[in-house]
Amino acid sequence: MKRALITGVTGQDGSYLAELLLEKGYKVYGLRRRTSTPNYENIAHIRNEIEWVSGDLTDLASLILAVRASQPEEIYNLAAQSFVETSWPQPLLTGQITALGVTNMLEAVRLVSPDARFYQASSSEMFGKVVETPQKETTPFYPRSPYGVSKVYGHWITVNYRESFDMFACSGILFNHESPRRGIEFVTRKVTDGVARIKLGLQSELRMGNLDAKRDWGFAGDYVKAMWLMLQQEQPDDYVIATNETHTVRELLEIAFSHVDLNYEDHVVIDPKFFRPAEVDLLLGDCTKAKNKLGWEQKVSFREMIHMMVETDLARVEQEMKN
Ligand code: GDP
């Protein structure tokens, strides 16, 4: 039985990846950070199948113990302070977790299980104020937030450990990926939750920021397969994972509202509070390398995913109203 350790297992990606690895017959270890209120919503259905180990990305000793306890062949580092907006009011915390946390994890692996394969969750936010379009593995980075800057560090330290210590370390540069399990503060989920609440009469308006921002949005369930594929290759390498399509936030609103026969223009109010100090205007990925080398491709389209998210939020909000 292969063993995998996942950090960030209670998050969106961690939950889909844990499902995938359990299906494949892995023993899955999940790094659990102590919280005063439980956050198992995304993994409630598989909670008992995961072997839990305690730790925190900012505490190297805890990571050494976690790697020692799990003896993993594969490690997926998905934990982070992952919300761009929060990275301005909390830049140091973001750096400690999202940047230096990667070094802590790599050190734990190097010291305890140097032959284990390591996946780092890098991000299209590293491209930020893009210097070419579409963005691919060779596109220079120009991050636009403390989050993006931290992810650039995480990316390069992963490459550096591969080159310095001959570790099997890969960095997946994933463009935005969403699902019904996406955190409610991200724009897709904020919109599909808002649509459900407006449709069911719980609210009438949705306050939004920049509707002109463009993102390459894929489905998280498809993207975790790429993470696994990267660790099954003969050589460690870095890959862009994307849909090769870009859409504005406005298109997202149109698709989500029209799915329940509403017009977004009747409900959306622009609120300067949701504009960012520096914006990433356009992301569009080119995942040719992943297609050719990993044989990876997306299955769920942007429209299908937004419909899925609206349907799930409608059912959830309806259930909440009954309770
Ligand atoms: P990000 O790409 O990791 O920052 O993912 P988000 O889902 O948080 O944001 C995607 C884009 O949507 C950004 O360009 C935001 O400026 C834009 N956006 C517009 N209105 C909102 C909003 O109300 N909330 C969020 N989270 N993003 C918004």
pLDDT tens digits, the chain, 323 residues: what are they? 999 999 999 999 999 999 999 999 999 999 999 999 989 999 999 999 999 999 999 999 999 999 999 999 999 999 999 999 999 999 999 999 999 999 999 999 999 999 999 999 999 999 999 999 999 999 999 999 999 999 999 999 999 999 999 999 999 999 999 999 999 999 999 999 999 999 999 999 999 999 999 999 999 999 999 999 999 999 999 999 999 999 999 999 999 999 999 999 999 999 999 999 999 999 999 999 999 999 999 999 999 999 999 999 999 999 999 99
Distance CA 138, CA 123 (A): 14
* Other CB atoms within 10 A of residue 256 CB: 25
Distance CA 116, CA 137 (A): 24
- For atom 27 of ligand 1, the residue with the nearest CA is 187
Q: What is the pTM of this model?
A: 0.98
* 147 tagged catalytic: yes
Nearest ligand 1 atom, CA 276: 16
What does the block give as tokens for 69? 């306890």
For residue 322, the CA-to-ligand 1 centroid distance in Å is: 31
In three-state secondary structure terms, 195 is: helix
36: exposed, middle or buried (Cβ count in 10 Å: 0-12, 13-18, 19+): exposed
What does the block give as tokens for 286? 């080119």
Among 47, 162, 149, residue whose Cα is nearest residue 96: 149
Nearest ligand 1 atom, CA 123: 3
* 125 tagged catalytic: yes
Cα 26 from chain centre: 21
pLDDT in tens, 73-103: 999 999 999 999 999 999 999 999 999 999 9
Contacts for 191 with CB less than 8 Å, ≥ 6 apart: 206, 208, 252, 253, 256
For residue 28, the CA-to-ligand 1 centroid distance in Å is: 32
Strand partners, 6: 30, 76
pLDDT in tens, 2-16: 999 999 999 999 999
pLDDT at site 113 = 98
- For atom 13 of ligand 1, the residue with the nearest CA is 213
For residue 316, the CA-to-ligand 1 centroid distance in Å is: 23
- Say which of 15, 113, 123, 145 is annotated catalytic: 123
For residue 186, the CA-to-ligand 1 centroid distance in Å is: 6
* 123 tagged catalytic: yes
DSSP string, 210-227: -TT-EE--EEHHHHHHHH
- Say which of 19, 73, 125, 178 is annotated catalytic: 125
pLDDT at site 137 = 98
Q: Which helix (H) or strand (E) element contains residue 123?
A: strand 117-123
Choose the residue to mutate in 249, 282, 283, 305 for probing ligand 1, maximizing ligand atoms within 8 Å of C-beta: 249
pLDDT at site 96 = 98
Strand partners, 37: none
- Say which of 26, 29, 147, 153 is annotated catalytic: 147
Choose the residue to mutate in 187, 216, 246 for probing ligand 1, maximizing ligand atoms within 8 Å of C-beta: 187
- For atom 24 of ligand 1, the residue with the nearest CA is 187
pLDDT at site 156 = 98
ipTM above 0.95, yes or no: yes
Tell me which amino acid residue 150 is.
S
287-294: long-range contacts, CB 8 A cutoff, minimum separation 24: 287/239, 287/240, 287/241, 287/242, 287/243, 287/244, 288/136, 289/136, 289/137, 289/239, 289/240, 290/226, 290/229, 290/239, 290/240, 290/241, 293/233, 293/237, 293/239, 294/226, 294/229, 294/230, 294/233, 294/239
DSSP string, 34-103: --SS---GGGGGGGGGSEEEE--TT-HHHHHHHHHHH--SEEEE--S---TGGGTTSHHHHIIIIIIHHH
